[in-house]
Structure 1
Amino acid sequence: MKTHVISVLAGDGIGPEVMPVAQAVLDSACEGSDVELRWEERPWGTDYFRSHGRMMPLNAIDKMADTDAIFLGAVGHPEVPDAETLWGMLIPIRREFDQYINLRPIKSLPGVRSPLANHEGIDLVIVRENVEGEYSAVGGRSGVGTEYAAAYQQAIFTKHGVSRAVSFAAELASERNGDLVSATKSNGIVHTMTFWDEVVAEVAGGFPEVRLTPMLIDALSARLVQSPQSFDVIVASNLFGDILSDIAAATVGSIGIAPSANLNPEKRHPSMFEPVHGSAPDIVGRGIANPVGQIWAGAMMLDHLGHPDLAVDVELALRSVLSSGLSTPDLGGQATTVQVGDAIVAALAGK
């Protein structure tokens, strides 16, 4: 029996509502196999912040370091600034565990309405550099309290950081259709983006089977909403990848179904898996939160842990349920969070 220890951070808002549903689905997927998931609940987040003045305890990273993966629900509360919630939990985890790849698959799902007239056949992956770039902590303010107040934010791009993200993306593209698009803005951001382009070209040149297309971020965004089917793998910096992945999720119908993985590909540290949706405080306690993003993120976790067959089972089960018309209100249905989870468990039992 292979046992994986998973740190569970249900977090805020709808996180504690979708998390147990996803855990039940993953446990069901493992039944009858030689895989067992042992959940270690971590009661950290905004409630912890209110009591302790921080999102996690000082030894949080040490507590999670020996676990096999981190399963995150949602982070954020309207009464607490995002800078506190994100920089107090999400970003430290990503950086302390060197989760330098943010992987976001975007696929058309049966039974899910899209705002696009032509939305069939969307199947792309966004590879986002996840620990440096525009989201650095280097900067500050001057002239505070005067009419000359100013803020400064330093983007950090290293050859090491860009190279490993592009290498991951190129390897992924070589296993798919071979098309790799690089998001850039080198016509306007003269230092970091020209550097990005140079490193991307150098690294992608080592993958002769991959066709590289650099594309300005504005043109890329427009094409992404007009013809998402034309993309295979997109590699982008931290900021560009963050924005593009949410746009892409909207093309297939709802950000509530989108999963993501924060990966340390070499597995020297635990990776973290989370839905893209936020904490959705407007629907907390109503029992209608969409659990698909959390469940799909769990499938990605199973795949990363070395069980691609179980991951496929989960994805096929959730596709089967959605194709039947059963869904939560955000997708036009009437089902509750638990009803959707129960249906996916039933589909797994009948596979």
Structure 2
Amino acid sequence: MQSTAPKQTVQPVQPAQPVHPVRLAVIPGDGVGPEVIEQALRVLQAIEEATGHRFHTVTFPWSSEHYLQTGHVAPPGFLDTLRGFDAILLGAMGDPRVPDPISVGLVLQIRKGFDLYVNLRPVRRLSGAPSPLAHAPTVDILFVRENTEGEYSDAGGRLNAGHPDELALHTAVFTRRGIERIAVFAFEQARHRRRIVTSVSKGNALPHTFGLWDEVVRDVARHFPDVRLETVLVDAMAYHLVRQPERFDVVVASNLFGDILTDLGAALQGGLGLAASANINPAGPYPGMFEPVHGSAPDIAGRGIANPIGAIWSAALMLDYLKDRGRLPNGDRLAGAVLQAIADVLREGPHTPDLGGTATTREVGEAVVRQLARLL
């Protein structure tokens, strides 16, 4: 799966022969999630009208509100419900009324339950998006974040709660298999790009976990002699992302490091409202999950001003994934058309307030749909 870059010109996508509809599970979730997912679905509807492809969507009310009403964010056995879908489109999870481990737990259960070990996050600066990096000629980085183990493994606990000698332990779990497969995916992606992989490490201070990480990544690199490997310590990586973002092509990182660095990357590309992500297992039998990075943003929920670009971009990643899975002919070209429509709207407007404009979520979504209709 590749992160399709917007091109200067996009060839019209020819209407497809009738195929079985793509089965799409939609979880709007919390906060601004329903608002931005509505616009992503409007983009998919525009594709239906232009190409003849069909998306059969089933919307699930699983959310923090659902938890407050039923005691469950999602009903027991919800993973079995999702198994038969081709993909999952998620808005956001998180509500101040519900502890984060409960609301966000749904996302983690899907990632681990379906072994979606790749978290793919493109960081690309598009013309028209404000960025603090006026000096950078280009920002086009594909972050490949390990998604099922590492620092977010649920290994640990607390002892002597409330006492002066209370103890908390949280153990990062790194396995050779987990590191190897995420590294292989990163090197394969680099072959379709500029053939550079940057591995983020902290092997100098964490020699056990990141010593294994560095060792396995180097072993994988020997099987890709056409791709250059560099290893950068995570603190230095944060520095160089700001000073020389054009230096990086594909970045492979552990769960925690990838999470933090991609929020920095989102700032470089114009803000969290633009950031998209895919949770996938390239060879797995279960559906991938696609979600904007920005979270539920409860401070602006219900005001109609959330930026829908991250959700629409996530839908574009989904189209590319469905092509790779054999479920959507021309999915990669459709993804390219959506990215080009996003780039056109960012360049010409309208913009939501996070990008300095006054447009609503719906107005930006409508602008993307109009431009996409022209391209298709």
What TM-score comes out, normalization by structure 2 length? 0.91
The separation in 1 between residues aligned to 2:96 and 2:127, in whole angstroms, is 33
Code of the residue aligned with 1:179 in structure 2: it is: I
Q: 2:357 aligns with which of 319, 333, 343?
A: 333
The separation in 2 between residues aligned to 1:54 and 1:225, in whole angstroms, is 41
Q: Name 2:341's counterpart in structure 1.
A: 317
Aligned length: 350
Q: Which moved more, 1:119-128 or 1:96-105?
A: 119-128
Q: Name 1:54's counterpart in structure 2.
A: 72
SS in 2 for 1:175: coil
What TM-score comes out, normalization by structure 1 length? 0.98
Q: Deviations over 1:117-159 (max 9, x none)?
A: 2244211100000000110111111122211101001111111
1:123-272 superposed matches below 5 A = 123-272=140-289
Q: 2:101 aligns with which of 76, 83, 96?
A: 83
Q: Which moved more, 1:12-21 or 1:30-39?
A: 30-39
TM superposition shift of 1:267: 4.0
TM superposition shift of 1:30: 3.2
Tell whether the 8 Å contact from 1:119 to 1:252 is kept in structure 2 after alignment.
no
Tell whether the 8 Å contact from 1:327 to 1:333 is kept in structure 2 after alignment.
yes
Tell whether the 8 Å contact from 2:47 to 2:53 is kept in structure 1 after alignment.
no
The separation in 2 between residues aligned to 1:214 and 1:203, in whole angstroms, is 13
Gaps in structure 2 of 5+ consecutive residues: 1-17, 324-330
The separation in 1 between residues aligned to 2:195 and 2:373, in whole angstroms, is 36
Report % sequence identity.
47
Gaps in structure 1 of 5+ consecutive residues: none
Q: Name 2:11's counterpart in structure 1.
A: none
Code of the residue aligned with 1:65 in structure 2: it is: R
Code of the residue aligned with 1:41 in structure 2: it is: T
TM superposition shift of 1:318: 1.2
Code of the residue aligned with 2:192 in structure 1: it is: E
Q: 2:302 aligns with which of 285, 294, 307?
A: 285
- RMSD (Å) for aligned C-alpha atoms: 1.0
Q: Deviations over 1:298-343 (max 9, x none)?
A: 0000110001011111111111111103110000011111011111
Tell whether the 8 Å contact from 2:200 to 2:234 is kept in structure 1 after alignment.
yes
The separation in 1 between residues aligned to 2:167 and 2:364, in whole angstroms, is 49
Tell whether the 8 Å contact from 2:28 to 2:34 is kept in structure 1 after alignment.
yes
SS in 2 for 1:78: coil
Tell whether the 8 Å contact from 1:119 to 1:251 is kept in structure 2 after alignment.
no
Q: Which moved more, 1:160-169 or 1:260-269?
A: 260-269
The separation in 2 between residues aligned to 1:40 and 1:62, in whole angstroms, is 14
Q: Name 2:317's counterpart in structure 1.
A: 300
The separation in 2 between residues aligned to 1:118 and 1:54, in whole angstroms, is 48
The separation in 1 between residues aligned to 2:366 and 2:349, in whole angstroms, is 14
Q: 1:66 aligns with which of 84, 90, 104?
A: 84
